[in-house]
Structure 1
Amino acid sequence: MIKLVSGVLVLAAFVGGVAAWGNLGHQTVGYVAQQFLAPKAAAFVNSSLGSTYSYSLGVAATWADTVKYETGYTWSAPLHFVDANDSPLTGSCSVQETRDCGDNDCILAAIANYTTRVVNTGLSATQRQEALKFLDHFHGDISQPLHVEAYEVGGNDINAICGGSSTNLHAAWDTGIVTTNVNANHGGAATTYANDLVARIKTGIYESQTSSWLACDNTTEPVYNKRSVEDDVNGLLVSKATTITPLECPLVWAREANAFDCTVVFNYTTGQDLCAGSYYNAAVPVIDLQLARSGYRLAAWLNVLFDGSPNLP
């Protein structure tokens, strides 16, 4: 069970050095989502974020990574990931709610918590804005394959090379590969990258996939049968209990991202430059897809909350 709290989640100590997608990736998710917001969701985003964040989920998307190092927000650091205790090097990838988030101090519980808080009119405007910024950020985090993986601290303890420079595997996925791709193919800007991904969603290679992005059918460990974003959000909001059953969609999305750990992320050779050649060419389509559907799903999530349905093409 996930404990629903009225304030913050009490969290365990955090192992430093973990971020997800970096500023560029997170901004891209926010900018993608911004273009699919329904009227009431867009109105709330505009009024809540205001000029401080240029009325934009893209600008606000990096806030959660910034504050987790501040004294008043160190409790939030473990909410950015779920440590999947699986075995990606042997081809066994999985995320299990009880095994990997039994203490509720992970991104799966956080998305549920801040979903209820963002629409709680009993909270202050500042508290609801905070909830929105966390949701904005965590929808990006959950799609990063190494944010749903415990092996070697999500790849942070694995030395790597990106563009000829020393780094680690996690950082290569957070920033190195994303930045290389955006500089080479999307004008070096998150806004351009987001526009290009939106074009793929509306009329390009992702158009036929979008309906499946909002379905949350879990074939391995079903929590519900035939679940969707709309089912997940509405089911959470009508619950009056102090505890709630796990949300299906975040768990499915975590498993979806985690599967890439077995097929792409750890499929490298020592000394290989991860930001060039065959590894880079395999990673870029994964990152493009994950960022595109994270933004699309974030929009759907907010649209259901404020407009009553996903309201998406």
Structure 2
Amino acid sequence: MSIVVSLASLCILPISVLGWGNSGHKTIGYIAQAFLGPRTLAFVQNTLDSTYSGQLGPAAIWADQVKFTKGWTWSKPLHFVDANDDPLGGSCSVSDSRDCGASCILSAITNYTSRVHDTTLPAHFIGDIGQPLHCEAYKVGGNDITETFDGSSTELHAVWDTKIPEKTISIGFSGITDYANSLITRIKSGDYASVAASWISCTDPSLSQKRFDKPALGDFDHTIPMLPSKRTDLECPLVWAQDSNSLVCSTVFTGYQDPDLGTTYYTNNAPIVDQQIAKSGYRLAAWLNTIFDGTALP
């Protein structure tokens, strides 16, 4: 499987939870595709399996699908970082040394960025890192918090992964591509245009690569250590994780004890989910563009 497939999923998720779910990840892939530079686009189209027709959107769910299959279960921890902070006490933070352990989404992004040019290897997971509860340890990233959403029992993590984005798509758009196109327009000329540059203020892969001993190249499997022996704080992936984690204190746990999160909670948080998905797609494009085109935006 090609590196770009995994790249489209680049944020990583806690188990039992599919960071953003299929709809969110596909949307992130479609958004990223709209901002790819010429060399990056050529790389994506030449590298992706023909099943995906050269599109990051349908390819973006691959990492979530494969992590439960034989030979790939080792990749589960690469979808999230367990921030051991105190969100209910109003204190949110992410620390590489405290929270990453043997491997996490931070180290995965760094590790596979360093080998992205080798087209025999899968790369990383930028989408998941934009989901706030993929950057939180409390109650297993909200997986152990039972909720009701539009009358159905679920978990708080699933509310953010799937329930909110899927409800947004179902009530306001004809499908995933329509939703993605709406977010693309908002980035280019709508309400996100004035803030989009700040989303990619840290998008230089060298800021991650230079902090590690370059790992040896090889097949993408459990025999490759996800972390080199030397490790200090990551830069861009850590910045993104801290950005998402801040929403756990400011947003995620505000009103989470409402009797049904499909009402007021949804109304309050759907715009946040829209922005995080848009942000993840835009960051993914900028990250890839920097690697292949030498600039974040074409």
Q: TM-score range by the shorter chain?
A: 0.7 to 0.9
SS in 1 for 2:54: coil
The residue aligned with 1:43 is 42
Distance 1:98 1:240, change over 3 A: closer
The offset of 1:102, in angstroms, is 3.6
The residue aligned with 1:290 is 276
The residue aligned with 1:197 is 183
The residue aligned with 1:96 is 95
RMSD: 1.9
**Structure 1: segments with no counterpart, 5+ residues:** 1-13, 216-227
Q: Matched residue pairs, number? A: 272
Distance 1:304 1:245, change over 3 A: farther
**TM-score, normalized by length of structure 1?**
0.82
Counterpart AA for 1:55: G
The residue aligned with 2:203 is 229
The offset of 1:275, in angstroms, is 1.8
The residue aligned with 1:224 is none
Superposition misfits of 4+ residues, deviation over 4 angstroms: 237-245
The offset of 1:196, in angstroms, is 0.3
The residue aligned with 2:199 is 213
The offset of 1:210, in angstroms, is 1.5
**Structure 2: segments with no counterpart, 5+ residues:** 1-12, 216-229
The separation in 2 between residues aligned to 1:19 and 1:241, in whole angstroms, is 29
The residue aligned with 2:115 is 117
Contact 2:96 2:234 in 1 (8 A): no
**TM-score, normalized by length of structure 2?**
0.86
The structure with more helix, counted as a fraction of residues: 1
The separation in 1 between residues aligned to 2:94 and 2:207, in whole angstroms, is 24
The alignment status of 1:256 with 2:280, answered yes or no, reads no
The residue aligned with 1:27 is 26
Write the deviation string for residues 14-57 of structure 1: whole angstroms up to 9, x where unpaired: 97412211000000000000000000000000010142212111
Counterpart AA for 1:65: D
The separation in 2 between residues aligned to 1:300 and 1:196, in whole angstroms, is 19
The separation in 1 between residues aligned to 2:251 and 2:212, in whole angstroms, is 39
Q: Counterparts of 1:166-181 in structure 2 under 5 Å?
A: 166-181=153-168
The separation in 2 between residues aligned to 1:241 and 1:17, in whole angstroms, is 32
Identity %: 52
SS in 2 for 1:178: helix
